[in-house]
Structure 1
């Protein structure tokens, strides 16, 4: 049965049911909110956003790690009707500028830095006008829609509000005004927008409604048997659906406690699970591998763990065995989907056999349709025959922001979302993902679309042509290989290519392998055969063992 409720009303419902129960815990920061306290801070932040004149349907971008202000903003914007636009923490200037322009975001929240990326320096590079602007009155040539920049930090920055300013400004908006705004919101309204790369070479803003993600969160939680007694450790990033739908929203939907980790560190995750007695743990396979191989693993008491989700990348069966046997997560579930489907389409459940958990991605959620079709004819295929996986139901996105043609390509006239993934389904309805119609690379849970990286590398003056393909990797699942043809008369080195990429595209998109070649393998009709580039690279780079790794 589907819920017909907004995210703000869902939080109010859960806070009314479990006011004193812990809602949000940051063990590393000593921060703890009960559901009543969390509801209160979210209401205050919602009034703060309203005080800036932000209207229902306006787009607010957030560029931060899993800090407390991120999850507060998620529910605050949901309560006052702004659309939260999530920004990948690995983005650099080129990608950030595109996202802010394409999304028409009027407000940006950001932290100071992450790893080797200085966010403040990058936004100033794009918006030099910040140095002289009054907070809330930004007029940027390259980002004409952006008016407000809110710094999640303590040190005052030119042209920016502080997060503390936002909370103080909330006093100028009454609680009655906020409630009145919340009452105007409808479950079918778009409330979340996540950017996913596209085969066009440009990221697309996936518009998701309250209905989309509330119901997906409920179904994801149900497959894990989550309830108010559970405590979910969330080390996966909030900017992905994995973090903010399957993670925080699934907790609020069930009364479970959110226990985020600000930025993934395997030792910290193990410590948080042990100290907070977490019952569920989320991660992509590379995260679980890092935890299993951490020096402190053998000393940790992880006996509280019962369930969780492994998703975001193909799961090696040996990793699954270790998660069950060594970490003791006997009810671990595998989930499959994509941002356009809010995100989960299929998921295993605790009662599934070990074989099902390691060889399939489970069955469709209740209320979801899925089928495997012939990519050429569109005919539905029988069990066991490989084709494209399509899905239909409440979970299908509202569309891509300001991209009607791309939306029409993804969702057909009968409402079926075409995933671009190749799959088979057995007689009992269990799906297995067997490949991709698209050339998408999945590196450690991050989706990389070759065309996007190719478009960027084409801007290098010495590069005549470039083909990006994925090659197998035992740790990350796949790595990026660039096959480059250099312009006649020019010389180019791997080091030059890597230097050109640094600081301009996200680190996970930078090629791990670079090969220079005079020509590409072609079909008789002149199409480049990327699969042959991949096969040759596997042979030449000695990646056969990684290629043979069994996955679900």
Structure 2
């Protein structure tokens, strides 16, 4: 049987195949797949009543909740293009995305984190550009907005919503996800319906996700790992989603025990935090089956602890980016060595190579260079930015990831670091991820981040920002001595600062530019 090639078609198929199974469980609200389909149709009709037409964009600025799931899927059901927005952005940052994407509607969770998002947006964008309406998620809609809960009644007189959904094509743009912008202005990544579904399917297949799974979604829905490897993965597999609006280690552990959750993807810091939580020792995590990390660099020691202490049966390291959501993955049954030290092999249909960034020559097996990808899941390009698109995807179709790594004889790729995070100390390239992985094995270290800082003699030297375990009393001398036993001298940081936490974006990535600025 041919698989659905659009998000609306996939949702209809899920409602037919898994009608009474839980699709979303969010506190007191549980939606079956039949309920979800009905809510999406009703919401889509409301969008149409507000003036949304096929091809129009909708900005969705909200945390992980059942409303986000309905609101997001309803955009594509109404023939629109979904533009998720980072919940931590301020009004001016959101206004920039609203303008650049030409949004027709804005769906906003007003009051999240104690802020007035609607007021921020209106202040930053007084004329509201092309926006014809703001839809407010929450119990008390902001003045002058349309309540999200009122959309079904508003759209009750709209007919033909299923015909609109059926008219959506596989090659139509489904979503525009903006990059995190940690190294510059964010860019809008254009992805088709077929590509969004392909990413979800390859992930669920390699992770062996079934309708029996219960999936804790910590990754923000505005991120590809929350939306495509979260919401869309549920639609194509039939598993139940348990969204978390803001990560809290104790609350996550409580949900895992109470709901007998089986799947928890996330950045390494998520698992660090759960392992270090005082509640961990008394929490039953035996239901856990699968952990997946899509981070560029994963400390091998963390994977060992996840398997031995968090009770995961399977840990699947992977690598992806907004421009190619699922690029490499380990597979069930892979050797322990591959799981502990690599990001897996290229997924089916994707080509991968390692290129010397200085010469442009393809590197031999085991030699570090820039990871480049080519295949049908690579983005269509950046929104209204042909120059950036040409810089990212060369004339032969290779996506230049900006990540440095190696590929072994078995095709397993190992990320060394970001090209932009690399620094040169005394003429030698230093990749911080290697130093961070070594630090992860020092007793008393919860997590560490390493950056290059200016040095008059060496050009740059390393500085390590270290989070200690409670009760530990590490000194700079102890940290340096530990690393000197394991790394070449030029790789050993010359400075160590103990910190209570690390600056992060909403996707839990460490903001290294902020650390470099602190020197």
Q: TM-score, normalised by structure 2?
A: 0.82
| Superposition map of 1:322-401 within 5 A | 322-341=305-324, 343-401=325-383
Q: Flag the structure with more relative contact order, 1 or 2, with Cα contacts below 8 A and sequence separation at least 6.
A: 1
Q: Structure 1 residue 285 and structure 2 residue 256: aligned?
A: no
| Superposition map of 1:84-233 within 5 A | 84-115=82-113, 117-127=115-125, 129=126, 140=127, 143-174=128-159, 177-197=160-180, 201-233=184-216
Q: Which residue of 2 aligns with 1:404?
A: 386
SS in 2 for 1:376: coil
RMSD across aligned positions (CA): 2.9
Decide whether aligned partners of structure 1 residues 313 and 387 sit closer, same or farther in structure 2, where only a CA change above 3 A counts: closer
- The count of residues paired between Structure 1 and Structure 2 equals 459
Whether the aligned pair in 2 keeps the contact of 1:3 and 1:215 (CA below 8 Å) is: no
Decide whether aligned partners of structure 1 residues 475 and 61 sit closer, same or farther in structure 2, where only a CA change above 3 A counts: farther
Q: Structure 1 residue 5 and structure 2 residue 24: aligned?
A: no
SS in 1 for 2:410: coil
Report deviation, 1:398. 1.0
User: How far apart, CA to CA, are the structure 2 residues paired with 1:289 and 1:273?
Assistant: 16
User: How far apart, CA to CA, are the structure 1 residues paired with 2:103 and 2:175?
Assistant: 12
Whether the aligned pair in 1 keeps the contact of 2:230 and 2:241 (CA below 8 Å) is: yes
Q: Structure 1 residue 426 and structure 2 residue 411: aligned?
A: no
Whether the aligned pair in 2 keeps the contact of 1:313 and 1:477 (CA below 8 Å) is: no
User: How far apart, CA to CA, are the structure 2 residues paired with 1:313 and 1:346?
Assistant: 11
Q: Structure 1 residue 294 and structure 2 residue 249: aligned?
A: no
User: How far apart, CA to CA, are the structure 1 residues paired with 2:76 and 2:392?
Assistant: 26
Structure 2 unpaired stretches of 5+:
424-431, 440-444, 465-489, 502-519
User: How far apart, CA to CA, are the structure 1 residues paired with 2:2 and 2:351?
Assistant: 14
Report deviation, 1:350. 2.3
Q: Which residue of 2 aligns with 1:24?
A: 24
Report deviation, 1:16. 0.8
User: How far apart, CA to CA, are the structure 2 residues paired with 1:522 and 1:211?
Assistant: 53
**Alpha-carbon displacement from aligned partner over 1:308-333 (angstroms, at most 9, x marks no partner):** 21223522222211111111112121
Whether the aligned pair in 2 keeps the contact of 1:278 and 1:304 (CA below 8 Å) is: yes
Whether the aligned pair in 2 keeps the contact of 1:22 and 1:33 (CA below 8 Å) is: yes
Report deviation, 1:392. 1.1
Q: Which residue of 2 aligns with 1:265?
A: 248
Q: Which residue of 2 aligns with 1:497?
A: none
Q: TM-score, normalised by structure 1?
A: 0.77
User: How far apart, CA to CA, are the structure 2 residues paired with 1:314 and 1:397?
Assistant: 22
Report deviation, 1:239. 0.8
Report deviation, 1:421. 0.8
Whether the aligned pair in 1 keeps the contact of 2:461 and 2:493 (CA below 8 Å) is: no
Whether the aligned pair in 1 keeps the contact of 2:190 and 2:383 (CA below 8 Å) is: yes
SS in 2 for 1:332: strand
Decide whether aligned partners of structure 1 residues 431 and 216 sit closer, same or farther in structure 2, where only a CA change above 3 A counts: same
Decide whether aligned partners of structure 1 residues 200 and 228 sit closer, same or farther in structure 2, where only a CA change above 3 A counts: closer
User: How far apart, CA to CA, are the structure 2 residues paired with 1:207 and 1:25?
Assistant: 30
User: How far apart, CA to CA, are the structure 2 residues paired with 1:267 and 1:350?
Assistant: 29
Report deviation, 1:338. 0.6
Report deviation, 1:153. 1.1
User: How far apart, CA to CA, are the structure 1 residues paired with 2:252 and 2:386?
Assistant: 41
From 47, 58, 61, the equivalent of 1:60 is 58
User: How far apart, CA to CA, are the structure 2 residues paired with 1:530 and 1:8?
Assistant: 52
Report deviation, 1:105. 1.5
User: How far apart, CA to CA, are the structure 1 residues paired with 2:157 and 2:449?
Assistant: 51
Farther-moved stretch of structure 1 (195-204 vs 233-242): 195-204
User: How far apart, CA to CA, are the structure 1 residues paired with 2:2 and 2:447?
Assistant: 36
From 234, 243, 247, the equivalent of 2:226 is 243
Decide whether aligned partners of structure 1 residues 278 and 185 sit closer, same or farther in structure 2, where only a CA change above 3 A counts: same
User: How far apart, CA to CA, are the structure 1 residues paired with 2:92 and 2:455?
Assistant: 29
User: How far apart, CA to CA, are the structure 2 residues paired with 1:20 and 1:172?
Assistant: 27
Whether the aligned pair in 2 keeps the contact of 1:3 and 1:214 (CA below 8 Å) is: no
Whether the aligned pair in 2 keeps the contact of 1:314 and 1:477 (CA below 8 Å) is: no
Report deviation, 1:428. 0.3
Whether the aligned pair in 2 keeps the contact of 1:234 and 1:281 (CA below 8 Å) is: yes
**Alpha-carbon displacement from aligned partner over 1:166-202 (angstroms, at most 9, x marks no partner):** 222120212xx11111121111111111111559832
SS in 2 for 1:150: strand
**Alpha-carbon displacement from aligned partner over 1:343-363 (angstroms, at most 9, x marks no partner):** 110011221222211210001
User: How far apart, CA to CA, are the structure 2 residues paired with 1:397 and 1:321?
Assistant: 34
**Alpha-carbon displacement from aligned partner over 1:207-259 (angstroms, at most 9, x marks no partner):** 11111110111111111111111111111111111111111211211111112
Whether the aligned pair in 2 keeps the contact of 1:331 and 1:349 (CA below 8 Å) is: no
Decide whether aligned partners of structure 1 residues 282 and 347 sit closer, same or farther in structure 2, where only a CA change above 3 A counts: same
Decide whether aligned partners of structure 1 residues 537 and 2 sit closer, same or farther in structure 2, where only a CA change above 3 A counts: farther
Report deviation, 1:2. 9.6
| Superposition map of 1:44-55 within 5 A | 44-55=42-53
Decide whether aligned partners of structure 1 residues 418 and 313 sit closer, same or farther in structure 2, where only a CA change above 3 A counts: closer
**Alpha-carbon displacement from aligned partner over 1:520-539 (angstroms, at most 9, x marks no partner):** 8699xxxxx66778999942
User: How far apart, CA to CA, are the structure 2 residues paired with 1:72 and 1:241?
Assistant: 17
From 17, 31, 34, the equivalent of 1:33 is 31
User: How far apart, CA to CA, are the structure 2 residues paired with 1:405 and 1:2?
Assistant: 37
